Amino acid sequence: GWPRSCGVRGGAAMDLFGDLRRMNKRQLYYQVLNFAMIVSSALMIWKGLIVVTGSESPIVVVLSGSMEPAFHRGDLLFLTNFHDDPIRAGEIVVFKVEGRDIPIVHRVIKVHEKGNGNIKFLTKGDNNEVDDRGLYKEGQNWLEKKDVVGRARGFLPYVGMVTIIMNDYPKFKYALLAVMGAYVLLKRES
């Protein structure tokens, strides 16, 4: 007796431990797949927005105070970029300049329209003293439609501050991503 029952008890414990390990592995795979689904869904929504709005960046965050009081740092802008819409003075556009990585959000102050339909325009930040010619690439005095990323159609105040904090403090960004990743992987299905 005695040693045999002890061996059985130990074997049962080992089987239980093996079952737990297999279950945890299955749960881990499930959570990884769950995480992949969330990421792919977000990418699909983003690509869908690009198609619907016609803009390569349908949502942008205002990074400076150059457009105050219209927009403040951290405001989230919703953009569209339909090529049939004519660009008009007073409109707020987001444009990219050669040699600069970050697009700029400023107001159109002058528009030159030629007979053949070509449009050139000049921009300026509401909070700036001078127009944007100093921001354009050297020798460029006007923007064209090809420079436009989108036009502001709506905004949410200060929602983009998280993005600014993550840019200003990279350690915060990695900590936040680690916490979010750990939450998704460790979350138990209820």
Catalytic sites, residue numbers: 66, 106, 132
Residue 159 CA to chain centroid, in angstroms?
12
Instruction: Decide if 109 contacts 124 (C-beta within 8 A).
Output: yes
Q: In 57-103, which ranges are E strands?
A: 59-61, 76-80, 92-95
Distance, CA of 23 to CA of 15 (rounded, Å): 12
134 residue type, one letter: G
Q: What is the sign of the dihedral through the CA atoms of 176, 180, 181 and 185?
A: positive
CA 79/CA 155 separation, integer angstroms: 9
